[in-house]
Structure 1
Amino acid sequence: MTPFHLAFPVRDIEETQSFYRDVLGCSIGRSAETWVDFDLYGHQMSAHHRPESAQPPASGQVDGHAVPIPHFGVVLQMDDWKALRDRLAARDDIDWVMKPNLRFEGQPGEQATLFIRDPSGNALEFKGFADLSQVFAS
């Protein structure tokens, strides 16, 4: 699989660097005064300083849970997801939207998921699969 690229708005470059580097464990790539690239599990994420672009969060319904729209994230192998879950759960500064839970238990597409917000309010979802061939199972 090839990496994807996502450019997204942030209110402050320094707090964004700290969050993605120190909390999520991303390495930092190229950067300038108004943007910075991160390696998020092999994907190129480009944070661009756009303080005026903040929008009130909206939500959609998935399995009876309100989930933020828009959101972005990464599908991980279950061991990587559990490591991230544990790292986030050990912190007291995480803006949880949805604490870790298991969806579709015992069904095709069984997945663990969690939602958090970065310091700019961007919603991120991380999914964990024991079997990546189940990502698109229905």
Structure 2
Amino acid sequence: MSLSPFHLAIPVYALSDARNFYNQVLGLEEGRSSDHWVDFNFYGHQLVIHEHPKTASQENVHSNPVDGHDVPVPHFGIVLQWDQWEALAERLRSFNTKFAIEPYIRFKGEVGEQATMFLYDPCGNALEFKAFKDMGQLFAK
């Protein structure tokens, strides 16, 4: 499967804190920037953080139950290779990351078994990182 890079722009109310998180904690390469926004290479996709007043979803966290956990809504993320996911989980732990949902295996032994973890950036944007041992199950029912 060939994928085209997506472009996602998200609001951040503390640009320098968010910039540090995406660059230093997640280890993303920084691209173009101005005094009000920063581009990042998000695993081959273009993620842009834009300075913006706090949004309602950043102020009041909402979640839906999935597999016994409260999954933050809205959220965004990426599906990584299994070894990339494990390395990122270790990197995040080394930064003493507070997870919204600790790294674990979801739907273990079922169709769609996956590794997943959820966390928030410093501005309350929820991120999910996941991996499938069998990428062919990405859309399996």
TM-score, normalization by structure 1: 0.94
Structure 1 residue 123 corresponds to structure 2 residue 130 = no
Aligned residue number for residue 32 of structure 2 = 30
Quote the RMSD (CA, aligned, Å): 1.1
Q: Is the 8 A contact 2:67 2:107 kept in 1?
A: no
Q: 1:52: how far off?
A: 3.6
Aligned-pair identity in percent equals: 50
Aligned pair in 2 of structure 1 residues 34, 99: CA closer, same or farther (>3 Å)? same
TM-score, normalization by structure 2: 0.92
Which runs of 5 or more residues in structure 2 are unaligned? none
Q: Is the 8 A contact 2:116 2:128 kept in 1?
A: yes
Residues 97-112 of structure 1 mapped to structure 2, 5 A cutoff: 97-112=100-115
Counterpart code for 1:44? Q
Kindly report structure 1 stretches of 4+ aligned residues shifted beyond 3 Å.
none
Aligned residue number for residue 49 of structure 1 = 51
Report the Cα distance in structure 2 between the residues aligned to 1:56 and 1:124, rounded to whole angstroms.
16
Q: Is the 8 A contact 2:12 2:54 kept in 1?
A: no
Aligned residues: 137
Q: Is the 8 A contact 1:95 1:118 kept in 2?
A: no
Which runs of 5 or more residues in structure 1 are unaligned? none
Q: Is the 8 A contact 2:75 2:125 kept in 1?
A: yes
Q: 1:48: how far off?
A: 0.5
SS at match of 2:59: coil
